[in-house]
């Protein structure tokens, strides 16, 4: 940013908040270990700095969705265990082995491809087996999981590093289905034990919601994503276990900032932006903000009544969000000028707009708001508000 010609819009990511959130989640889940989920470029926060900060806060392993995401972490020099949350394609197993990533497997074909890659590389590789206990996204059913575990244990080139499952409704703490899923997972574990098979390196089931709201899901390790970034998984998940851990609240790590790029004074009755859907009730200062849906501001934020912060006050989005810019009604005689700081997500003065607020306005989850913040927006990584 030093040269000054770049756009004045960026996401500031407080790595101290990430480390603190990791410490909090580790304390909540203790004695379980913490696996930091940094898929989708660390939920839009920057995978490598986030992973580093989470490890500094006490995480002992990482998880990503894609082989490519694991490669990015390895190339940055991170040498902790990295779990792939879905079974890699057969063609990718050579790279998985070369990069020492831990694949999840749940098909015979996937297991065979992994064995071949391990034999070709003359390496012994850790693998985790995933049970589909009811989410029905990926995983092996009960019998298939048993067979795969047996084959893993019989394969000298493989190390049985883990057995895991994923919860579908952990963020709705009253739903009894989480208990059913955990019971199915425990049934598999005990049947493997009864069959004389060795215990896996680790057993896990919990995402952030499980770690916070379902103590019995914590097992050996919890896989936390959204909580590391400072958000509760849903409004239904009580922060009480976090408060009880005594290390403070989760802190949102990301602040989205820009500057007013243009200001017009418009009369009552004027209409703004595409579709001319916003009508000025009175004369007002209309500020132009140089970020749009190509940066990840939802186009529907206007219809949802979206607000952002200028001059320490909430201001209404005035008209349809466009690709690169949006408009804001600052009211009459606002004093708002070109160059003033704008906070889209985060705090300014005493006001705060959170990713959760945007999510509620447009009918989605904070996860989607965060990971849709696009690559066009630079990320600045800071410690507690001071730039690195």
Ligand X SMILES: *Cc1c(COP(=O)(O)O)cnc(C)c1O
Omega before residue 58 within 30° of 0, cis: no
Shortest distance, position 220 Cβ to ligand X, whole Å: 14
The count of chain residues that interact with ligand X, using the rule CB under 6 A, is 13
Binding of ligand X at residue 223 (CB under 6 A)? yes
Binding piece for ligand X, criterion CB under 6 A, among 220-228, 274-282, 348-356, 369-377: 220-228
- Structure-token pair, residue 56: 């500094």
Ranges within 165-184 binding ligand X (CB under 6 A):
166
Nearest to ligand X of 115, 166 (CB atom): 166
Nearest to ligand X of 133, 320 (CB atom): 133
Binding of ligand X at residue 225 (CB under 6 A)? yes
106, 160, 274, 293: which is the annotated catalytic residue?
274
3-state secondary structure of 357: helix
Q: Which of 226, 280, 317, 330 binds ligand X (CB under 6 A)?
A: 226
- d(C-alpha 345, C-alpha 342), whole Å: 9
Nearest to ligand X of 89, 265 (CB atom): 89
Shortest distance, position 131 Cβ to ligand X, whole Å: 12
Per-residue contact string for residues 38-57; x = within reach of ligand X by CB under 6 A: -x------------------
Binding of ligand X at residue 207 (CB under 6 A)? yes
Binding of ligand X at residue 230 (CB under 6 A)? no
Q: What is the DSSP string of 262-331?
A: EEEEE-TT-EETGGG-EE-SS-EEEEEES--GGGT--GGGTTTT-EEEETTEEEEE-S---SS-EEEE--
CB 189: neighbour CB atoms within 10 A?
18
Shortest distance, position 360 Cβ to ligand X, whole Å: 17
As beta bridge partners, residue 341 has: 259
Q: Which of 42, 44, 162, 233 binds ligand X (CB under 6 A)?
A: 233
Q: Which of 24, 37, 54, 371 binds ligand X (CB under 6 A)?
A: 37
Binding of ligand X at residue 319 (CB under 6 A)? no
For the chain, the 3-state helix, strand and coil shares in percent, each to the nearest 5, are 35, 25, 40
Report the half-sphere exposure of 219 (CA within 13 A, side-chain side).
24
Shortest distance, position 21 Cβ to ligand X, whole Å: 11
Per-residue contact string for residues 65-104; x = within reach of ligand X by CB under 6 A: --------------------x-------------------
Binding of ligand X at residue 129 (CB under 6 A)? no
Q: Residues 278, 301: contact at Cβ < 8 Å?
A: no
Binding of ligand X at residue 208 (CB under 6 A)? yes
As beta bridge partners, residue 102 has: 83
Q: Is 130 a catalytic residue?
A: no
Main-chain phi, psi angles of 365, to 5 degrees? -115, 160
CB 379: neighbour CB atoms within 10 A?
18
Shortest distance, position 207 Cβ to ligand X, whole Å: 3
Q: Residues 55, 36: contact at Cβ < 8 Å?
A: yes
Shortest distance, position 162 Cβ to ligand X, whole Å: 12
* Short-list 224, 182, 190, 175, CA closest to 32: 224
Q: Residues 260, 338: contact at Cβ < 8 Å?
A: yes
Binding of ligand X at residue 224 (CB under 6 A)? yes
Axis-axis angle for helices 142-154, 177-194 (nearest 10): 40
39, 106, 257, 278: which is the annotated catalytic residue?
39
State the residues that interact with ligand X by CB under 6 A: 37, 39, 85, 166, 207-209, 223-227, 233
Positions marked catalytic = 39, 274
């Amino acid at each position: 940013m030093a040269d000054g010609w770049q756009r004045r819009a960026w996401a500031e990511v407080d790595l101290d908040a990430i480390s603190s959130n990791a410490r909090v989640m580790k304390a909540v889940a203790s004695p379980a270990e913490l696996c930091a989920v940094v898929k989708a470029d660390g939920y839009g926060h920057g995978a490598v700095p986030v992973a580093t900060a989470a490890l500094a806060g006490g995480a002992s392993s990482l998880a990503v969705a894609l082989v490519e995401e694991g490669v990015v972490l390895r190339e940055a020099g991170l040498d902790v265990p990295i779990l792939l949350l879905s079974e890699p394609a057969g063609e990718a197993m050579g790279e998985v082995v070369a990069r020492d990533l831990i694949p999840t497997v749940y098909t015979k074909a996937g297991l065979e491809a992994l064995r071949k890659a391990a034999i070709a590389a003359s390496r012994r590789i850790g693998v985790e087996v995933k049970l589909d206990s009811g989410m029905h996204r990926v995983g092996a059913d009960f019998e298939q999981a048993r067979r795969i575990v047996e084959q893993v244990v019989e394969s000298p080139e493989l190390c049985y590093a883990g057995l895991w499952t994923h919860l579908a409704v952990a963020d709705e703490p009253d739903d009894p289905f989480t208990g059913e899923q955990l019971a199915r997972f425990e049934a598999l574990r005990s049947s493997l034990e009864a069959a004389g098979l060795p215990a896996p390196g680790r057993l896990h089931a919990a995402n952030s919601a499980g770690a916070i709201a379902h103590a019995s899901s914590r097992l050996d390790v919890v896989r936390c994503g959204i909580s590391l970034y400072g958000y509760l998984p849903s409004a239904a998940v009580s922060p009480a276990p976090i408060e009880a851990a005594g290390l403070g609240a989760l802190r949102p790590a990301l602040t989205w900032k820009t500057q007013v790029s243009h200001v017009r004074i418009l009369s009552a009755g004027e209409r703004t932006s595409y579709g001319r859907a916003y009508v000025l009730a009175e004369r007002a200062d209309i500020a132009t903000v140089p970020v749009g849906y190509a940066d990840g501001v939802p186009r529907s934020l206007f219809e949802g009544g979206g607000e952002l912060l200028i001059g320490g006050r909430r201001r209404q989005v005035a008209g349809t969000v466009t690709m690169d810019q949006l408009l804001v009604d600052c009211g009459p005689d606002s004093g708002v000028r070109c160059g003033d700081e704008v906070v889209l997500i985060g705090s300014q003065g005493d006001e705060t707009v959170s990713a959760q607020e945007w999510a509620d306005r447009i009918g989605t989850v904070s996860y989607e708001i965060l990971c849709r913040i696009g690559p066009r927006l630079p990320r600045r990584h800071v410690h507690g508000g001071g730039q690195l």
